[in-house]
Structure 1
Amino acid sequence: MRLIEWAEEQGRATGKDFLRLDCLVKNATLCGYYENAGFLPAGEAHVEFKVGPGATGENHHLQRLEKALRVPDEDLEVPDEEPQEEHGDDSDDWNEAVRASHPVVAGLRLVWREYRAPTAGGEGARGEEPSFGMWTVADNLVTLLSQMTQEDFDRHDERMPYFGIVWPSAEALVMKLLAGPRLDGLRVLDLGCGLGACGFAAAQLGARVTFLDWEPRALEIVEASAREQGLPPDLLDFVVANWSTPPDLDHFELILGADLLYEKRNAEGVAKFLGRYLRLGGEAWIVDPGRPHVRLFPTQAKMEGINLTAREILAPKGHGPAITLLKLRKPRWRRLHHVQARREGSSRPPSK
């Protein structure tokens, strides 16, 4: 990581706008590591490598990753150590708290960040702009990694602190939600919530939200954000669990998931989770920055009785890649029984 930091410094010093590196597509863990360090997918390539003169080359499938070295001023939402001006309206009392200090929760320094609905023609999507603030981790990924022991690395690579970063896919889904209709009274699950950006967007729109992540520190920060926002405690639940071995949960009208499919092996577990916990007629919104294996997810979801209803491309932030939104729905009982019957070997749905 120090080498990457050095390369970033050299790139900025020489006026470059982007830093690029390539990684083997099959090494999903390493690709995910770099994405959490701020790199975004920028296409793929097949490259032949030869070792030594006269050697036979091997063809390798590479993921190209890029990181912007210059961020436009308008994209900066979080102030540095000492903010130079106030953010938000005076009526929003919670916009004032961070704001110069960095409270520590779960052993991590935090900073306040705000989201607002996209505007059209200078007006909010519904006449006023829904907005919310949340705590995010002030330290970069290098600092988070330095807090891990070698035993942590050896035990499980997924214990790397991915939760401390709001992924571009989550930011795109937040904007999609805030620009959409109200969710009053709907039961919504933020699956693999991380710092909870998608769930807080749903809560801002009136939903009853459950935040689920297997990282306890993430849920501590989410709870701190909820307290700071002043959200009604009876409308929120916080669950520490793995989607592959979930506890007993209610069924949900809407399940949100951002960057859940960063590894190909996750698809089966996510599909089974949706099949189990989506209410009949409920929807799942899954977003991803275009990983190749995600194209297969609708097929896996269909095996669990979940159908793809729409595929949308969401506008990226800055110079990032376009984000793919998969909208999936659990059919109502007749079609669902038909799927189950087919899986059991029957050629037609059961009669009434």
Structure 2
Amino acid sequence: MTSGPFLHTTPDEVLSETTEQLVAIPFKGKTPRQFRLMLPVSIDVLLDHPTTYAAFDQDEYMPYWAELWPSALMLGEAIAQRAWSTEMQVLEVGCGLGLPGLVALALGMEVVFSDYDVAALGFAARNARLNGFEQFRTLPLDWRCPPNDLKVPLILAADVIYEARNIAPLIQLMATVLTPGGECWLSDPDRPHKQEFQQSLRDQGFEFEALPRSLERLGQPTVQGTVYRIMSPWLRISG
């Protein structure tokens, strides 16, 4: 495992075949909006590539970004049902294909898509433009090394606590990047680390709401999960 920042770039040669998926997100008081997503045809090709094996040996990397996960849909639906201040800057962490960020863009926010696979950032940017958005930028980011020069009032993160080792650095990212009183909205399909995550938030002084979610998709099993609204303390005492 690497001791410093880790960034990876999935080679273009395994990303040439893509497919388009339409996703409908219901917005509060409005008809559902359809988003067009471009994504790799198959994650299996990425899994079997030699660069993935090498990246896994270096940092246990896996190309999870190349699929649209239920948690991304849960998070997108959750933020679409809230009223937000427009033009606020948002950081999406581990953005993958960028669906929650697209919803934020549709709500009038400015989005920073971040991921530690540069190829994922390319797809997120492509999807943003495909849906008519321009008020975004991309940021290669290993969340274990939070940037001190970026402060935002809102962080979005979908299905990022799939391993216990992610919990501490993600909470540190919130503490570093969120402005006082800012929020992180994080979705999770109730993976085994749920209780550990909640206790770690409490230990670090974060208050949170755990909002149960149920995702139903035609012809697929219902997925149960949680969207966390995590509130950053207004004041932090250093030392």
Aligned residues: CA RMSD: 2.2
> Which residue does the alignment assign to 2:35?
132
Query: Does 2:210 match 1:311?
Result: yes
CA distances 1:38-70 after superposition (whole Å, capped 9, x unpaired): xxxxxxxxxxxxxxxxxxxxxxxxxxxxxxxxx
Using the TM superposition, give the Cα deviation of residue 320 of structure 1 relative to its aligned residue in structure 2, in angstroms. Answer: 3.6
The question of whether the paired residues in 1 share the 8 Å contact of 2:91 and 2:152 is answered with yes
Equivalent residues, number = 224
Alignment partner of 2:20 out of 94, 112, 127: 112
Amino acid across the alignment from 1:252: V
Q: Distance in 1 between matches of 2:222 and 2:31?
A: 28
Alignment partner of 1:328 out of 204, 227, 230: 230
SS at match of 2:164: coil
SS at match of 2:50: coil
SS at match of 2:35: strand
Query: Does 2:191 match 1:283?
Result: no
| CA separation of 1:207 and 1:187: change in aligned 2, threshold 3 A | same
Q: How does 1:329-344 map to 2 (within 5 A)?
A: 329-333=231-235, 336-337=236-237
SS at match of 1:321: strand
The question of whether the paired residues in 2 share the 8 Å contact of 1:193 and 1:257 is answered with yes
The question of whether the paired residues in 2 share the 8 Å contact of 1:275 and 1:301 is answered with no
The question of whether the paired residues in 2 share the 8 Å contact of 1:252 and 1:279 is answered with yes
Using the TM superposition, give the Cα deviation of residue 224 of structure 1 relative to its aligned residue in structure 2, in angstroms. Answer: 1.5
Q: Distance in 2 between matches of 1:148 and 1:284?
A: 35
Amino acid across the alignment from 2:223: P
Q: Distance in 1 between matches of 2:157 and 2:168?
A: 14
Q: Distance in 2 between matches of 1:271 and 1:313?
A: 21
Gaps in structure 2 of 5+ consecutive residues: 1-11
Query: Does 2:116 match 1:214?
Result: yes
The question of whether the paired residues in 1 share the 8 Å contact of 2:146 and 2:176 is answered with no
Q: Percent identity?
A: 27
Bigger CA drift: 268-277 or 281-290? 281-290
CA distances 1:258-288 after superposition (whole Å, capped 9, x unpaired): 1111110110000000011111111111111
The question of whether the paired residues in 1 share the 8 Å contact of 2:101 and 2:111 is answered with yes
Using the TM superposition, give the Cα deviation of residue 247 of structure 1 relative to its aligned residue in structure 2, in angstroms. Answer: 3.1
Q: Distance in 2 between matches of 1:266 and 1:153?
A: 16
Q: Distance in 2 between matches of 1:201 and 1:239?
A: 18
SS at match of 1:322: strand
CA distances 1:131-187 after superposition (whole Å, capped 9, x unpaired): 422212222x322212235434433322x2111011111111112222332441121
> Which residue does the alignment assign to 2:140?
240
Q: Distance in 1 between matches of 2:110 and 2:144?
A: 23
Using the TM superposition, give the Cα deviation of residue 228 of structure 1 relative to its aligned residue in structure 2, in angstroms. Answer: 2.0
**Greater relative contact order: 1 or 2 (C-alpha under 8 angstroms, separation 6 or more)?**
2
Normalised by the length of structure 2, the TM-score is 0.84
The question of whether the paired residues in 1 share the 8 Å contact of 2:18 and 2:38 is answered with yes
| CA separation of 1:186 and 1:105: change in aligned 2, threshold 3 A | farther
Q: How does 1:1-352 map to 2 (within 5 A)?
A: 107-118=15-26, 125-139=28-42, 141-149=43-51, 150-158=53-61, 160-232=62-134, 235-308=135-208, 310-317=209-216, 318-333=220-235, 336-337=236-237
The question of whether the paired residues in 2 share the 8 Å contact of 1:187 and 1:252 is answered with yes
Q: Distance in 2 between matches of 1:181 and 1:129?
A: 16
Gaps in structure 1 of 5+ consecutive residues: 1-103, 119-123, 345-352
Q: Distance in 1 between matches of 2:164 and 2:210?
A: 19
SS at match of 2:186: strand
The question of whether the paired residues in 1 share the 8 Å contact of 2:94 and 2:114 is answered with yes
Amino acid across the alignment from 2:173: F
Amino acid across the alignment from 1:221: F
